[in-house]
């Protein structure tokens, strides 16, 4: 693995405002000539911030909000009217799903195969057992973990497309329980940007927790500035990415976790092979990719794989750029980001991998 060390200039630390959903989004500049509208909504357990510019901005925000809300209602596995609930209670029968859900399943299946199972949507029983669904956190015994891991079945999914009707059908084995939590916000952001574009918006940005998706460029024609949160101090950021129209998605062990009575900390990103939170040298993974759904899937899978295997995955399959932050306070970027990232925290060193 080849790393090229570079030096950087320190700059002022930015106090992140609002909640985590704004943690990656830097203030915009040069937008005075174009009117801006902004809205917030709560969906997928996240406060989401939508920003649109131009004469069609209000229509764009309305369309984006509707898209996110509709998708949210389809994906909640505990909501009896949701598509996910229908899949989890189908007992092996086919379930008709929307194009968005089919896209998520197809993307997750591809990443599952290419990563050797690092992303597995059928871990929902295990995640519930650990208490990350209802907030009643619990460290299961090895026997309980084995019991939940025995329910994994994502590799047995059958997804069928019916071109004549434009519909899709999915079949999981009886007893399967899936969750789209590791990929839903990426799809929601991508779908929301598409809705804004169809409403006539040419410039906008959406922040859904650790997911940022941009539409076009800033109104002045310059790139967007997206901050990468410091996993060791979540009130600050460690660097800034300069990007055009793309998705920027971060997954990290600092985002959701609990500590037991003995002081052991457990985070929410699970290794499907062990049933325990993924234990690697990484603190966070940021994926830069035009496809928001793919970026979300990859951010989880690459975190599970760890630094070396994640970089090997990138070299093998490509199609995205990546920022890895490890426990040694190293920021390791793929080579395509050499002109796009500025490190702004002197606690970290920056290198590029080829």
Exposure class string for 249-269: b at 16+ Cβ within 10 A, else e: bbbbbbbeebeeeeeeebbbb
End-to-end Cα separation, the chain, in angstroms: 7
Tokens of 53: 């510019």
How far is 277 from 348, CA to CA, in rounded Å?
Answer: 25
Give the model's pLDDT for residue 18: 33
DSSP 129-156: HHTTTTS------HHHHHHHHTT--GGG
Measured distance CA(58)–CA(32) in Å, rounded: 17
8 A C-beta contact, residue 82 and residue 75 = yes
Q: What is the mean pLDDT of each run of 10 residues along the chain (354 residues)?
A: 34 33 40 78 94 96 97 95 97 95 97 98 97 94 97 97 89 96 96 97 93 96 96 93 97 91 94 96 97 97 98 98 97 97 94 94
The owner of tokens 């996993």 is 231
Dihedral (Cα; 271, 274, 275, 281), 10-degree rounding: -40
Largest distance between two CA atoms of the chain: 62
Report all structural domains of the chain as residue ranges with CATH numbers, in order of start. Answer: 3-353 (3.10.520.10)
- Sequence-distant (≥ 6) Cβ neighbours of residue 270 within 8 angstroms: 123, 126, 127, 130, 276, 277, 278, 304
How many CA atoms within 13 Å lie on the side-chain side of 272? 24
DSSP string, 160-201: EEETTTTEEEEE--TT-----TTTHHHHHHHHHHHHHHHTT-
6: burial class by Cβ within 10 Å (0-12, 13-18, 19+)?
A: exposed
Q: What pLDDT does residue 209 have?
A: 83
Neighbours of 353 (CB within 10 A): 18
pLDDT digits 0-9 by tens, 15-53 = 333 333 333 444 444 444 479 999 999 999 999 999 999
Q: What is the DSSP letter of 28?
A: P
Residue 344: the pLDDT is 92
pLDDT for 171:
98
Q: What are phi and psi of 217, to 5 degrees?
A: -110, 175
At 3 the pLDDT is 38
Instruction: Name residue, tokens 């109104």.
Output: 219
């Amino acid at each position: 693995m080849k790393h090229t060390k570079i030096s950087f200039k320190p700059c002022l630390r930015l106090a992140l405002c609002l909640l985590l959903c704004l943690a990656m989004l830097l203030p915009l500049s040069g937008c005075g000539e174009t009117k801006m509208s902004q809205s917030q909504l709560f969906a997928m357990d996240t406060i989401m911030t939508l920003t649109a510019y131009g004469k069609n901005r209000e229509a764009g925000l309305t369309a984006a909000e509707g898209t996110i809300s509709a998708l949210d209602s389809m994906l909640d596995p505990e909501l009896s009217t949701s598509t996910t609930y229908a899949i989890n209670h189908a007992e092996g029968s086919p379930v008709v799903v929307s194009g968005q859900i089919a896209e998520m399943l197809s993307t997750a299946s591809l990443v599952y195969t290419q990563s050797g199972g690092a992303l597995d949507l059928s871990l929902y029983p295990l995640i519930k057992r650990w208490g990350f669904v209802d907030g009643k956190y619990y460290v299961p015994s090895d026997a309980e973990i084995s019991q939940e891991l025995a329910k994994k079945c994502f590799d047995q999914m059958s997804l069928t497309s019916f071109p004549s009707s434009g519909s899709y059908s999915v079949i999981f084995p009886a007893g399967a329980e899936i969750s789209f939590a590791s990929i839903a916000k990426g799809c929601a952001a991508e779908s929301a940007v598409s809705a804004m574009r169809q409403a006539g918006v040419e410039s906008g940005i959406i922040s859904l927790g650790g997911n940022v998706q941009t539409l076009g460029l800033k109104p002045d024609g310059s790139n967007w500035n997206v901050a990468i949160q410091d996993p060791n101090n979540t009130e600050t950021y460690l660097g800034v990415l300069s990007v055009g129209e793309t998705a920027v998605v971060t997954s990290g062990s600092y985002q959701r976790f609990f500590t037991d009575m003995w002081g052991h900390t457990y985070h929410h990103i699970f290794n499907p092979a062990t049933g325990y939170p993924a234990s690697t040298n990484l603190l966070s993974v940021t994926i830069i990719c035009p496809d928001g759904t793919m970026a979300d899937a990859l951010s989880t899978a690459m975190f599970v794989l760890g630094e070396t295997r994640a970089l090997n995955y990138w070299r093998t399959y490509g199609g995205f750029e990546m920022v890895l932050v490890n426990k040694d306070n190293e920021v390791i970027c793929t080579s395509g980001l050499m002109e796009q990232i500025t490190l702004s925290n002197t606690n970290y060193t920056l290198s590029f991998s080829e």
